[in-house]
Amino acid sequence: MTNSPDSAQFTVAIDGPAAAGKGTIGRAVADRFGFAHLDTGLLYRAVGAKVAGGMDPAAAARALTPEDLARGDLRSAEAGQAASRVAVLPEVRAALLDFQRRFARRPGGAVLDGRDIGTVICPAAEVKLYVTASPKCGRIGAGRNWAARRRLCPMPRCWPRWWSGTPATWGGRTLR
Ligand SMILES: Nc1ncnc2c1ncn2[C@@H]1O[C@H](COP(=O)(O)OP(=O)(O)O)[C@@H](O)[C@H]1O
Ligand SMILES: Nc1ccn([C@@H]2O[C@H](COP(=O)(O)OP(=O)(O)O)[C@@H](O)[C@H]2O)c(=O)n1
């Protein structure tokens, strides 16, 4: 590691539950400081998509490239389900651990958001953030996916809003 601003290694680890705002904060921090940003959920989504296309999970994880993360279909509910299926496989997690650690130590600084980032992936990160949303804030996640909504907000009085498809609001403002 050198002191040159161009080659400095600086890792920001952001953890928290689904739809808590990790990616939003991660992108903002990366933009502000000129760091690279990695939404680690995309790695699992990309592997899941390749496995859905017939690849072996471990091979797909080992062969993952940054270009794979640019696929247009990774934000779909199907890709999310495929991601959850491959995320339980130890060999997939091991391969993606390497990918994430290489990304974290790239010159110029890096922000990673997801699960286990500050504990397992980047225990030596210079900055660690844990992001949560209060039950009231849980409404901001509405519109993303049903499971995330339920995990975010345990308040039964919010559920009819989600199930009825009522747009999420925050401070009187419609968010979606
Ligand atoms: N501070 C905030 N106030 C209002 N809405 C927010 C805030 N942070 C995030 N959101 C919204 O909440 C949703 C989930 O945010 P996202 O950053 O994708 O979460 P995560 O990366 O934790 O899954 C998005 O629709 C985003 O626009
Ligand atoms: N660091 C990570 C990120 C995602 N994942 C898995 O990948 C899935 C998709 O992650 P995501 O962040 O895109 O989606 P959400 O579940 O947060 O909405 C998660 O549901 C987890 O199963 C993981 O195991 N570890």
The dihedral built from the CA positions of residue 89, 44, 114 and 77, taken in this order, carries a sign that is negative
CA–CA separation, 102 vs 99, rounded Å? Answer: 5
Per-residue pLDDT tens digits for 80-103: 999 999 999 999 999 999 999 999
**Residue-range definition of the domain harbouring residue 160:** 137-174
Is 4 contained in some domain? no
Give distance in angstroms: CA of 139 to centre of ligand 1: 10
Is 77 contained in some domain? yes
Q: What radius of gyration, in Å, describes the C-alpha atoms of the chain?
A: 17
114 in ligand 1 pocket by Cβ < 6 Å?
A: no
Distances in Å between the alpha carbon of 143 and those of 13, 24, 56, 105? Answer: 26, 15, 32, 34
Does the pLDDT at position 28 exceed 80? yes
Interface confidence (ipTM) of the complex: 0.91
The per-residue pLDDT for 77 is: 93
Count the domains in the chain. 2
**Residue whose CA is at the smallest distance from ligand 2 atom 14:** 41
What is the side-by-side order of every strand in the sheet holding 127-130?
36-39, 110-114, 11-15, 127-130
Is 164 contained in some domain? yes
Between 27 and 172, residue with greater pLDDT: 27
49 and 116, same domain (yes or no): yes
How does DSSP classify residue 9? -
**pTM, to two decimals:** 0.79
- Ligand 1 atom nearest to CA at 17: 22
119 and 62, same domain (yes or no): yes
CA–CA separation, 47 vs 147, rounded Å? Answer: 21
21 in ligand 1 pocket by Cβ < 6 Å?
A: yes
110 in ligand 1 pocket by Cβ < 6 Å?
A: no
